[in-house]
Amino acid sequence: MAPIRSLRIAVVEDHVLLRTVLAALVGKWPHGKVVLEVGHRQDYCAQVQQVGPIDLVIVDLLVPVMDGFDTIASIREEQPDARILTITFDPQDAYVHRALLAGAHGVVGKDRILN
């Protein structure tokens, strides 16, 4: 049986400490490797060309410059094979619905990740 390829993961989170913690948590997962950590969509666009295709993008909904909803939609358009997991401190129904409509594959409350 061929070895399973490690997923290439990006973290888009504006809070530096939380981004570092998320990357460290994901880094412990044996099936993936964080190859990109950025604060917002513009950084993602600028740097993704240098690191190559991304399999999984973890996106904060309330990032500055371009909000998470627009970020999700543009990633889906530019990288249709990428899977997108959205994170937020406020997973209210309206945010979850809007994120899924934008193309997210799932929405997780940050409190679930950090506990």
The amino acid at residue 39 is: G
Residue 63 has pLDDT above 80, yes or no: no
Q: What is the mean pLDDT of residues 9-30?
A: 92
In this structure, is residue 2 part of a structural domain? no
Domain span at 70? 7-114
Closest CA to 113 of 77, 89, 97, 96: 89
User: Is the confidence at residue 4, as pLDDT, over 80?
Assistant: no
Q: What is the pLDDT of residue 2?
A: 64
Indicate the number of domains in the chain.
1
Gyration radius of the chain's alpha carbons:
13
Q: Report yes or no on 66 lying in a domain.
A: yes
111 has a pLDDT exceeding 90: no
The residue assigned the tokens 């997991």 is 85
Please indicate, yes or no, if residue 1 is contained in any of the structural domains: no
CATH number where 43 lies: 3.40.50.2300
pLDDT computed for residue 99 by the predictor: 94
Instruction: Give the whole-angstrom CA distance, residue 106 versus residue 85.
Output: 5
In the chain, the amino acid numbered 89 is F
Chain segment 69-103, per-residue pLDDT in tens = 999 999 999 999 999 999 998 888 999 999 999 99
Residue whose entry in the numeric block shows the structure tokens 């940050």: 110
